[in-house]
Amino acid sequence: MGCSFLHERRLRAQARKAARAAEALPPLQAGEGDFVVSGSRGSPTRSKPPELVIAGIDEAGRGPLAGPVVAAAVILPVRFSHPLLTDSKQLSPAVRETLYEELTALPGLHWAVAIVDAEEVDRLNILRATHEAMRRAVAGLPVCPGHVLIDGCPVHPFPVEQTALVGGDGLSYSIAAASIFAKVTRDRLMVEMDALYPGYHFARHKGYGTKLHLDMIDRHGPSPIHRRSFSPVRQLRFDFD
């Protein structure tokens, strides 16, 4: 089933007020060295006041023991709807890939994906790394939104007025689209990591703490993309026979 588009409509009035406050904020800028990928298909949002431009934000990869955390920000065309688009976790990998290809080819859609690697996750902690990825994703958008919808809890600080929606990837098309971008991007990266570190089977479990994954860490020790700050990895590093 698709998502309700009511939140986007309801928030346009709120976004008008938010944009007036946002005018005092400094321009969004991606930090030097950030790993951000973005894209755009046309620019119908130019005909809309900036306060009416709403972006959805979601992440993928908070829980795994290895690999990056990825966040995506997406601005959808006006009156967008889709019969299949919903929370990416409820969709099969094949459907997610199909939706990703459809969305990236959609006229009027703007998107950005930010990737924070395992080393930075360890340095910041996973919550701060996730929030940093979200900020970088918004900074990477080709169009600056007047308001953002964030899946989950509020993110502070944040450079754009926000509304946090628990379970937002099942309530908002914008967040659901962001969840597709984040999940597909991260899954593809983990398949690439599987080729670099074949002993861990990253293509199968995508870095999550499955029995197979834990057994491979126990056998080989952590790889360069494992999160040393996560207790299963930290404990297995010192589990001597």
Domain 6-193: which CATH number of 3.30.420.10, 3.40.50.2300, 3.40.50.720, 3.40.50.12780: 3.30.420.10
For residue 211, CA distances in Å to 68, 110, 198, 214, 217 come to 20, 39, 16, 5, 10
Question: What is the domain partition of the chain in residue ranges?
Answer: 6-193, 198-237
Residue 94 pLDDT more than 80?
yes
Backbone angles phi, psi at 216, to 5 degrees: -70, -35
Check pLDDT > 90 for residue 2.
no
> Where residue 5 falls among pLDDT bands split at 50, 70, 90?
very low
pLDDT at 234: 86
Q: What gap in Å lies between CA 45 and CA 108, rounded to an integer? A: 7
Q: What is the pLDDT of residues 140-196, one digit of tens each?
A: 999 999 999 999 999 999 999 999 999 999 999 999 999 999 999 999 999 999 999
Residue 6, pLDDT > 50, answer no
Q: Is the pLDDT of residue 18 over 50?
A: no
Q: What is the pTM of this model?
A: 0.82
| Integer CA distances (angstroms), 24 to 51, 114, 155, 160, in order | 13, 25, 19, 11
